[in-house]
Amino acid sequence: LGVRAVIARAPALDPGIVREQLEWVLANQVFCPTQAPFRFLRDDRRWHDTLHVAQFGATGSWELGPETAALADGILGPASD
């Protein structure tokens, strides 16, 4: 979704380069000493907000779709029942 959101705004960009850039940012983020590092926790509010922003950027809709669930499952593993 992150790549789709960027490409939706700038279609001329190379998706492979965009993905590499986004992965680099995630791996190299620097946080204020007082701020907790971003962690991917399925029920965390920050994670939920991040998914909504990526979904809106890629599709123009705030409603989380099946690709959003697939993204979460790919990063976090399938949700347990």
Say how far apart CA 75 and CA 64 lie, in whole Å.
16
How far apart (Å, rounded) are the C-alpha atoms in residues 33 and 37? 9
Is 18 within the bounds of a domain?
yes
Predicted local distance difference test score (pLDDT) of residue 14: 94
Task: Report yes or no on whether pTM surpasses 0.75.
Answer: no
Give a yes or no: residue 81 inside a domain. no
CA dist 45 and 9 (Å) reads: 26
Q: What does the pLDDT read at residue 6?
A: 85
Query: Domain count of the chain?
Result: 1
Q: Is residue 29 part of a domain?
A: yes
- Average pLDDT score over residue span 41-61: 78
- 32 or 38, higher pLDDT: 32
Structural domain that includes position 17 = 2-76
In this predicted model, which residue has the larger pLDDT, 48 or 75? 48
* Structure confidence at residue 13 (pLDDT): 92
Residue 59 to residue 64: CA distance in whole angstroms: 10
